[in-house]
Chain A
Amino acid sequence: MTDYTSAEMMTVTAARALENGMTCFVGIGLPSEAANLARLTHAPDVVLIYESGTLQTKPEVLPLSIGDGELCESALTTVAVPEMFRYWLQGGKVNVGFLGTAQIDRFANLNTTLIGDYQSPKVRLPGGGGAPEIATNAGEVFITLKHSKRAFVKDVDFVTTLGFGRDGKGRDGVPNIGKGPTRVITDLCVMKPDPATKELTVVSLHPGVTRDDVIQATGWEIRFAETLESTPVPEANELEILRELKARTDRKHAGA
């Protein structure tokens, strides 16, 4: 199948990043879509955890909020929110945190707090939520968001959530901390942090996307890996399952 949108390409690629059997702490929105697609395709035993306390949940439709009833009803068990963050996340039971963001910089720091100055913000964003501790207490972090110059900035206005810090060394020497962001999946490409500098580097371009497309959509001089791969296209069954999932979700949230 060749007929797919760039948004579908992003979701399918993000879903493929999850391996069967992984324990994944899922953010709402794009990460949730990707994580559930993974569960419905190649990773039936992926364990999805949402910060509302729902452990090993298998929602039939994508939740609009992090605490939709659907998440609880389809979970193995539901625990209190302090237990969720203390025992399960901080206790080291989560392999991967899957996050979205409003702004990301070259060292994969995330900003979901505000644009502008803290005391007189130009745009006030929702804030940190679970992300600051998911990003440091999960084994590693996947990030997915749409590629744009507004989102991909050289330096975020505010570090809500640690990637690798303002100098790329934010995790150095810190005990009991996860590996941090290991990949960023957008609608144009896949990026990984450079092993030495931690600066995000494009490792794979989606089919039909040029280097220039990525350069134009990134707010810093983006680097490309020496051997640049081409991201595999979505399979027919992945697209079919994703579209069914989204259609079911739309019907449910329209109140039908």
Chain B
Amino acid sequence: MAEFLSLHDAVARYVEDGATVAMEGFTHLIPFAAGHEVIRQKKRDLTLIRLTPDLIYDQLIGAGCAKKVIFSWGGNPGVGSLHRLRDAVEKGWPHKIEILEHSHAAMACAFEAGAAGLPLAVLRGYVGSELPNVNDQIKFIECPFTGERLAAVPSVRPDVSIVHAQKADRKGNVLVEGIVGVQKEAVLAARHSIVTVEEIVDDLTTQPDYHPNTCIIPGWAISAVVVAVKGAYPSYTHGYYDRDNRFYKEWDVIARDRDTFTAWLDANVYNASSSAEGDA
């Protein structure tokens, strides 16, 4: 049964140094408020998993939280590079990180396999790609029925997954809609899960937008529910606020330089309280 916690307490309880963490959200619903809380609590040696590291992991990497990053597309969407990721990989600042890269298809399948309790995901993937040469987590197996050569990757089983969603009800059931990415898979694949939401309503099933196929993650499948208003900003929450594309462009300038990045982090993360991040 989901417990209602403050952002501070949820991160303090479930994100341990050295943990494997997936903060998901495919462009949409990226849990920035929770990511900032992880930075504020100075978590270290994390293995960070995400299809698209996006600004959230750029910030965590630059803040020194990451030991390893598992990803499939590490750019600033529509803008260019993730400069903190690049600086860590190319120059080892603030320290060297290990990277393990996949394709989106493989990562998506690996999350799904994790949710399904399987040890591996099988896909028709990586044909002719050189990614298997540099990632020993990509193997090939033979289909026992047809003999076809297929790619296999280990399932994703995070210690904790953190996602953002529209709303939860008093029982901790969570509604997620719009581009749902691998939100549900991330929660179900993980040992513990934190879901930050824009608001709490009394009962999701009596909401006007509820219908029999609404994407609901039941409260009993979630560890903690946290209210974080605008918790996905500068990404977005469908039905609540838009993606701040302008900030994504500004990030290119902020993150390009170590000093401007550090100053930004001081002003907007370290010196912001978790309540300023919408933690209610």
Question: Could you say which residues of chain A place their CB within 8 Å of the CB of B82?
Answer: 126
Q: State which residues 151-177 of A face B: CB under 8 Å.
A: 158-162, 165, 170-171, 174-177
Q: Kindly provide the distance from the CB of B212 to the nearest chain A CB, expressed in whole angstroms.
A: 16
Q: Closest CB of chain B to A179's CB: distance in Å? A: 13
B103 and A72 within 8 A (CB): no
Contact A113 B101 (CB under 8 A): yes
B103 and A130 form a contact (CB under 8 A) = yes
| Chain B residues within 8 Å of chain A by Cβ, number | 57
**Contact code string A86-127 (vs B, CB < 8 Å = 1, else 0):** 100110000000000000000001000100001011011111
B9 within 8 A of partner (CB)? no
Contact assessment for B244 and A255 in the assembled complex, using a CB-CB cutoff below 8 Å: yes
Contact check, A255 vs B246: say whether CB atoms are below 8 A apart: yes
Q: Is B272 an interface position by the 8 A CB rule?
A: no
- Across the interface, do A124 and B85 meet the contact criterion of CB distance under 8 Å? yes
The contact of A130 among B89, B104, B236, by CB within 8 Å, is B104
* Structural contact, B128 and A81, CB atoms closer than 8 A: no
Q: Which of A67, A85, A124, A255 contacts B108 (CB 8 A)?
A: A85
Point out the residues of chain A lying under 8 angstroms from B90, CB to CB: 120-121, 123-124
Contact B127 A136 (CB under 8 A): yes
Q: Mark B92-132, 1 if CB is under 8 A from A, else 0.
A: 00000000011111101101100000000001111111110
| Interface-located stretch among A5-13, A36-44, A48-56, A194-202 | A48-56
Q: List the B side residues contacting A109 at CB < 8 Å.
A: 128
Interface residue from A29, A64, A136 paired with B245 (Cβ < 8 Å): A64
Q: Name the one of B71, B127, B182 contacting A127, with C-beta atoms under 8 angstroms.
A: B71
- Chain A nearest CB from B85 CB (Å) reads 7
Choose from A78, A118, A162 the contact partner of B179 (Cβ within 8 Å): A78
Report B219-254 residues with CB < 8 Å from chain A CB.
236, 238, 242-246, 248-249
Per-residue contact bits, chain B 171-193, to A (CB 8 Å; 1 contact, 0 not): 00000001111111100000000
Report whether A52 and B128 are in contact in the complex, using a CB–CB cutoff of 8 Å. Answer: no
A86 near B123: Cβ-Cβ < 8 Å: yes
Given the complex of chains A and B, what is the CA–CA distance between A123 and B80 in angstroms?
12
Q: Does A53 contact B125, Cβ atoms closer than 8 Å?
A: no
Tell me if B103 and A67 are in contact (CB < 8 A).
no
Instruction: Flag whether A244 is at the interface (Cβ < 8 A).
Output: no
CB–CB B130/A159 < 8 A: yes
Tally of contacts, chain A with chain B, CB under 8 A: 184
A218 to chain B, nearest CB (A): 22
Q: Which residues of chain A have C-beta atoms less than 8 A from B236's C-beta?
A: 69
Interface size in chain A (residues, C-beta < 8 A): 59
Name the contact of A85 in the complex, choosing from B85, B109, B179, B245 (C-beta under 8 A).
Answer: B109
Compute how far the CA of A161 lies from the CA of B238 in the bound complex, rounded to whole angstroms. 32
Residue numbers in B under 8 Å from A137 (CB-CB): 124
Q: Does A84 contact B (CB under 8 A)?
A: yes
- Is residue A28 contacting chain B, with contact meaning CB distance below 8 A? yes
Q: Which residues of A contact B (CB under 8 A)?
A: 28-29, 51-54, 63-69, 71-72, 78-82, 84-86, 89-90, 109, 113, 118, 120-121, 123-133, 136-137, 158-162, 165, 170-171, 174-177, 252-255
Residue pairs across A and B with Cβ atoms less than 8 A apart, 30 shown, are A52-B179, A53-B26, A65-B27, A67-B179, A80-B183, A81-B108, A82-B108, A82-B182, A85-B123, A86-B112, A90-B123, A121-B90, A124-B81, A126-B74, A127-B72, A127-B73, A127-B101, A128-B104, A129-B103, A132-B105, A133-B124, A133-B126, A158-B130, A159-B128, A159-B129, A160-B129, A174-B128, A175-B148, A252-B245, A255-B244
